[in-house]
Structures are given as C-alpha cells and as structure tokens.
Structure 1
Amino acid sequence: MRAGALSAEDAEQGHCLAPDYIAWQVARSKRMLGRVPDLVFLHNPEHGCQEGEIADRLYAAFLSMEKACSQHTIGAYGVATWCGFSSGLFDVSTLLELATKAGGPNHHLRAIQLPVSLIHLAPVAQALDGQGPLADALDAGLEVFASAPLHGGEIPDILTRELTDLISPGSTPAQAALAVVASTPGVKRVLLSTGNPEHWTQAADAVGRPLLSPDVLRRVVDVLGT
C-alpha cells in the first residue's frame, strides 16, 4: 500500500491480481531471490470472483505476466487454483485461449497447480479416463503441480492400515498417499512442505518409487469415491 501498488479495498479482501500489484510482486520476488524466477503462479484467481468476471480478470493478469516475460523479469507463469477447475469457473482450454489472446501463439503460460490427494480424488479419477484438467494439461504440454497432497497433514492420521496396504504394502500412510498423487497421469510435480528431515526423506522415497498402476489407482477411487 505504501508503494501505491495495492488499494485499501484489495488489502482488506486479502487477494489481488491487479496489474500494478502483479508487477510490484514480481519485481519483489526477483529481488528477494536474487535472480529471475523460473515460474510465477497467479494464485486463486477465482477468489471472490463471479463466473462472468473470471475471463476479464485472468486476461488482465496474463497481460501483466506476458509483459514481465518480455522484460525478462520472469521466465514463465502459471495458474494455481484451489477450486477454479472443480467449480467450473475455468478449464485448461479457457486458460490457453486467454494466454494466446494476451501473448500470441508463443505465450508463456507453462503450468497449472491444483489440489490432488486422497481427499481431492476427482482429478485422479478424471485423469484415469483421459479427462479433466490433468489430461488437458498433459495434452497441451503444461506442467502440473499437485498441491496439498497430504491435505495439510491430515491424511496420514485418517488413512487405515488396510487402505495403506492396498495402495503400497509396507509403506507408511504418508508414503502411500504421496504415491497416489505422484502416480496420477499428468502430474509432474508434487508440492510438499515439512520441517522434519525424516519426513522429507520418506516423501522423496515415496515419489521416487515406480508409479502405481492405473488398476491400483482405480481401486483407490472405487473405495474412497470422489
């Protein structure tokens, strides 16, 4: 607000994708990193947005990101969403159309991010049938970042031994949950944070193992539903 990049109203709402604010945040990220960010996500464009407003909001944001790419302030950009895809507010095709409108055929939209987990299983079920945002992103050459794979740490505490062994015999509940996410068609990155080195080692081991078969994933979806 002191820099004039954020209005009091936007600050009160706790969310902003206005062009001036994007430019300010991108410059700040570059300064803090000490280098050009490889990829910058526009987070939760659906926040406080009605269906008829989302295209204009995304287009204005994409214009800002394309400008940042042309100025070599960032390398590329993506859209991170919690419920934009699941609510039907937008899909991958919409994002690609708006990116092309903003940056031409050589636009810099490179990735999407969305929750994928044993609680958010709909993207997994859709991907197994070649549908949904993960399949669409794969077809378009976009990277998929899976967020909240353990749903804020809740999943290991609710995963039964029986279901854990169905997924990956001998694994811990956390490892089994991560294996499902990492094995989902289209997922390229699994986002995880932990302050425990042992947890990190176990997570790296889980996502580094051979992928679960589609049959196993389908059984998990059948057991838990979407």
Structure 2
Amino acid sequence: MRAGALSAGDAKRGHCLAPDYIAWQVARSRRMLGRTPDVVFLHNPEHDCQEDEIADRLYSAFLALEEACNQRVISSYGVTTWRGFSSGLFDVPALLELATKAGGPQHHLRAIQLPVSLVHLTPVAQALNGHGPLVDALDAGLEVFASAPLHGGEIPGILTRELTDLISPGSTPAQAALASTTGVRRVLLSTGNPEHWTQAADAIGRPPLSPDVLRKVVDVLGT
C-alpha cells in the first residue's frame, strides 16, 4: 500500500490480481529470490470473482505476466486454483486462449496447479475418461502441480488398511495417498521429518497406478 501498488479495498479482501500489483509483486519476489523465478503462479483467480468477470481478470493478469516475461523479470507463469476447474469457471483450453490473446502464439503460460488427492479425485476420474484438466494440460505440454496431496495431513489418518493395500500393497497410508497423484510429475508437500520425505519420494517415484486400480479407488471413494 505504501508503494501505491495495492488499494485499501484489495488489502482488506486479502486478494489482488491487478496488473500494477502483479508487476510490483513479481519484481519484489525476484529480488528476494536472488534470481529470475522459473514460474510464477496466479493464486486462486476465482477468489471473489463472478463467472462473467473471470475472463477479463485472467486476461489483464496474463498481460502483466507476459510483460514481466518479456522484461525477463520471470521466466514463465501458471495458474494455481482450488476450485476454478472443478466449478467450471475456466478450463485449460480457456486459459490457453487467453494466454495466446495476451502473449501471442509464443506465450509464457507453462503450468497449472490444482488439488489432486484421495479427497479431490475428480481430476483423476476425468482423466480416466479422457478429459479434464490433467488430460488437457498433458496435450498442451503444460506442467501440472498437484497441491494438497495429503489434504493437510488428514488423509493418512483416515485410510483403512484395506484401502491402503488396494492402492499400493505394503505401503504406508501416506505413501498410498501420494500414489493417488499418479501421472503428475510435480507434487507439492512439506515435512520436517527426513524419513517422511524419503517415503514420499519413494511413493512418487514408483510406476503409475494402473487405470483399473484407479477406477476401483474412484468407485470406493467417489469424487
């Protein structure tokens, strides 16, 4: 606010994707990081936004991010969302169309981030049927980042031994939960326990679950 990049109203709402604020924030992030960020995410563009407003909000934000890429302040950008895809407010083709409008065919949209877990199985179920954000991102060459794979640490405590063995026989509940993100190369999690980190890396590094197993999991848990 002191820099004039954020209005009092936006500060009160706790969310802002105005172009001036984006430009200020990415420049600040670059200084703090000490190098050019590989990818900068727009965080929850659906926040406090109506369906008829989302395209304009994304487009103006993409313009600011394309300018930051052209000035080499950042290398690329993405969209991270909690419910943007699941609510139908936007999809990957819509994001690509807006990115092309903002930056041309050589735009810098490179990634999406969304929750993928045993609590948020809809993207997995959609992929099994050949559609949805995971499939669209793969077809477009976008990186996919899976957020909240353990749902804030809650999932391992609610997995039964039977379900754990259905997903990944002999695994811990946490490993089985992470296996549900199968096919996603970037999985976001945190731990202060080296053993947990080793187990997580092992789970992510295993071959993807078969479609048959995934269908059984979806049948058991729903979406």
Scaled by the length of structure 2, the TM-score of the pair is: 0.98
How far apart, in 2, do the equivalents of 1:128 and 1:62 lie?
A: 30
Residues 1:32 and 2:32 are matched in the alignment: yes
Amino acid at match of 2:221: L
Identity percentage of aligned residues: 84
How far apart, in 2, do the equivalents of 1:215 and 1:145 lie?
A: 23
Amino acid at match of 1:22: I
Amino acid at match of 2:135: A
How far apart, in 1, do the equivalents of 2:188 and 2:11 lie?
A: 27
Q: Deviations over 1:89-111 (max 9, x none)?
A: 00111100100000000000001
Give the C-alpha shift of residue 192 in structure 1. Answer: 0.7
Q: How does 1:187-202 map to 2 (within 5 A)?
A: 187-202=184-199
Give the C-alpha shift of residue 214 in structure 1. Answer: 1.1
How far apart, in 2, do the equivalents of 1:210 and 1:107 lie?
A: 32
Q: Which residue does the alignment assign to 1:57?
A: 57
How far apart, in 2, do the equivalents of 1:146 and 1:94 lie?
A: 20
Q: Which residue does the alignment assign to 2:83?
A: 83
Residues 1:116 and 2:116 are matched in the alignment: yes
Gaps of 5+ in 1: none
How far apart, in 1, do the equivalents of 2:173 and 2:2 lie?
A: 46
How far apart, in 2, do the equivalents of 1:167 and 1:28 lie?
A: 43
Amino acid at match of 1:33: L
How far apart, in 1, do the equivalents of 2:171 and 2:55 lie?
A: 43
How far apart, in 1, do the equivalents of 2:44 and 2:100 lie?
A: 20
How far apart, in 2, do the equivalents of 1:169 and 1:200 lie?
A: 19
Amino acid at match of 2:189: L
> Helix, strand or coil for the counterpart of 1:153?
coil
Q: Which residue does the alignment assign to 1:2?
A: 2
Q: Which residue does the alignment assign to 1:220?
A: 217
Equivalent pairs, count:
223
How far apart, in 2, do the equivalents of 1:88 and 1:35 lie?
A: 35
Give the C-alpha shift of residue 26 in structure 1. Answer: 0.3
Q: Alignment RMSD, CA only?
A: 0.7
How far apart, in 1, do the equivalents of 2:95 and 2:140 lie?
A: 11
Q: How does 1:8-27 map to 2 (within 5 A)?
A: 8-27=8-27
> Helix, strand or coil for the counterpart of 2:204?
helix
Q: Which residue does the alignment assign to 1:147?
A: 147
Give the C-alpha shift of residue 210 in structure 1. Answer: 1.7
Q: How does 1:37-186 map to 2 (within 5 A)?
A: 37-181=37-181, 183-184=182-183
Give the C-alpha shift of residue 188 in structure 1. Answer: 2.2
> Helix, strand or coil for the counterpart of 2:113?
strand
Amino acid at match of 2:129: D
Amino acid at match of 2:195: E
Moved over 6 A (4+): none
Amino acid at match of 1:200: W
